[in-house]
């Protein structure tokens, strides 16, 4: 039977993690490198968004022009230019 004291386990784990963390040294320019990568990603995100907005706007404009071009060129029944029956009855 293995009897371990919870305080002992916690203490040993804390010591092991402290020893492991004590051996880690950050690179001198780590912050600058991480910030540069973040700024590059942010610029790319904004560029992709601008291109996407431009493409959607251009497609909407082209579809609108196509729909307007497909409208019939001859006048319809409502706007036929004929005088209404009420005007001719005077």
Token duo for residue 18: 């402290």
pLDDT single digits (tens) 26-68: 788 989 999 999 999 999 999 999 999 999 999 999 999 999 8
| Stretch 67-74: mean pLDDT | 80
| Stretch 73-86: mean pLDDT | 62
Residue with token string 């307007």: 68
Q: Is the pTM of this model over 0.85?
A: no
Evaluate whether 37 touches 45 at the Cβ level (below 8 Å): no
- Banded pLDDT at 1 (limits 50, 70, 90): very low
């Amino acid at each position: 039977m293995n009897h371990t004291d919870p305080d002992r386990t916690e203490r040993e784990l804390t010591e092991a993690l402290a020893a492991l963390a004590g051996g880690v040294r950050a690179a001198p320019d780590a912050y600058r490198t991480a910030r540069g990568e973040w700024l590059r990603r942010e610029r790319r995100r904004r560029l992709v968004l601008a291109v996407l907005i431009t493409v959607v706007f251009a497609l909407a404009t082209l579809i609108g022009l196509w729909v307007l071009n497909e409208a019939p060129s001859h006048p319809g029944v409502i706007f036929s230019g004929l005088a209404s029956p009420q005007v001719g009855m005077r």
